[in-house]
Each structure stands twice: as structure tokens, then as C-alpha cells.
Structure 1
């Protein structure tokens, strides 16, 4: 397992954090975003997508469960939010495993709710709130 910690004192440094996530994740397609409510998971995903060339609006798929974005380089990103599911079968029914094994980037919020469906290799992006806008982002590769 490989690990890296990124500290940002304010949200103005979010681009630095997003670049660190990209650099760390490299060729991994499954990125799991963990952290308490309002830690900044969706905000970080928005910046990651922006840096990857996604020009359309990025928003949390809380009710849709998945949003699809395309970058200006032809890459496809799937953004999941499993916060509202009650049973992993709901994720199976919407075809989550097909997305996970598609070869495209999957950015997954609340991954613990679908833990048994996830591929063997992934990167966790754990966001911890500090004072004010400070965040500690711990990256681990499995």
C-alpha cells in the first residue's frame, strides 16, 4: 500500500490538492472519496474534473446515484454518490459494477455502502476537516 498526505489551509488551495490526487492516482480508475458530511468530497471532485478537462457543470448525483461527464480529451468520468442507498442491491440494479469495470474513471462518494461491489484495486481519498477551511487529504492506493 502506498500513502500520501496533502494538507491545505484553505479552499483556495483546492487546485493543489486536486493535482496531488491526479498525480497519486495515475492509472487507477476507481477513486473512493470518504469523509464526513460537508468535508468537501463533491467540491474536490469538481476541481479534479475541471483539471481533467471536463467543461460541463459537475454536481453531486445524490438522487440520480451517478452522473456522467466527458472531458475535452475524450475521457469519460462517472461520479457516484451512494449516500441515499439503503441496500447494495440498489447499486447492483442501477448497473454499478458495469461502470466500475468499464475502464473509465469512477469517482465514488460514500463507497462504504457498496464495499462488496468494488474492484480489488482502488485509491481512497479521505478528507478530514480542520480549523476553518483547512483540510487534510489522505491518499492510499490498494
Structure 2
């Protein structure tokens, strides 16, 4: 499934993504730096009912949020990882297999730890500034 959108349309795109039947709860995000991964994840987090201010977990590697329905959601930014072993030591596999929402930026840093059964979102910046998003569920 592919979406082309401008940043002002991101909330409606987040809603459409979350309405995909049987959407997997572990979602990896692939895009160049600055393409809008974190912005999209913020929209998804808001759409899921998180009332806390969401931000990129660049320095902490993972942020945990609670939705208004009591669900737990994890947002990972693995960019600063030095090794897959470092991720394993911090227990990312426990998060990934928890059954909770896991949004993972820079999943290529932990290729052997990402569950086989996950969704993938790729974002490409188009010449006109719009984004092309492709999701494989």
C-alpha cells in the first residue's frame, strides 16, 4: 500500500495506517535522515491516544508511552547504537515480543533482533517536498 502526502496531511495518513486490517504491532521505519520518520511516529502515537508529549528517543534509545486506553507503546530510535549486542543487552527483544506497539527507527542496526512478523514503512521525499510512503504489512 502506498500513500503520497504532504506534511499537513500526516494525521490523516496515520489514521489510514492504523486502520489497515490486521496491522502488525511491530513496525519498522526506513528512510533517510530528515525524511519524516519521527514526525510520522508522533502522528501515529497521537492517533493511538497518547496524551503525553512524544519526542524522538535519540539519546535514550526507547521512549515508553501509555495510551488513553491503558496500552503501552514503545518508540525506538536505534541510530546511536554501536552494535546489535548493545541492543540485545538492553533487552530490545523483550520489547519487540511484548505484544505492545513498537515503532522502530533505524531497524538496520538490529537486523537479527527484529521479529520476522513485522510491518515495514518506507518513506521517500519527493522533489515537490511531498512524501511517498510504502507499507508492507
TM-score, normalising length: structure 2: 0.95
Number of matched pairs: 137
Gaps of at least 5 residues in structure 2 are none
- Contiguous gaps of at least 5 residues in structure 1: none
Would you say the 8 A contact 1:6–1:20 is kept in 2?
A: no
Q: Is the 8 A contact 1:25 1:123 kept in 2?
A: no
Tell me the equivalent position of 1:5: 2
In 1, Cα distance between the equivalents of 2:21 and 2:50?
A: 18
Q: Quick check: 1:19 aligned with 2:15?
A: yes
Runs of 4+, deviation exceeding 4 Å: none
Q: Deviations along 1:46-66, whole A, 9 cap, x unmatched?
A: 000101100001111111010
Q: Name which of 121, 125, 130 aligns with 2:126.
A: 130
Q: Give, in angstroms, the shift of residue 23 of structure 1.
A: 1.9
Partner of 2:91: 95
What is the CA distance between 1:138 and its match in structure 2?
A: 0.2
Q: CA RMSD in A?
A: 1.1
Provide the TM-score with structure 1 as the length reference. Answer: 0.92
Tell me the distance in 1 between the aligned counterparts of 2:36 and 2:136. Answer: 18
Q: C-alpha separation between the residues in 2 aligned to 1:104 and 1:139?
A: 19
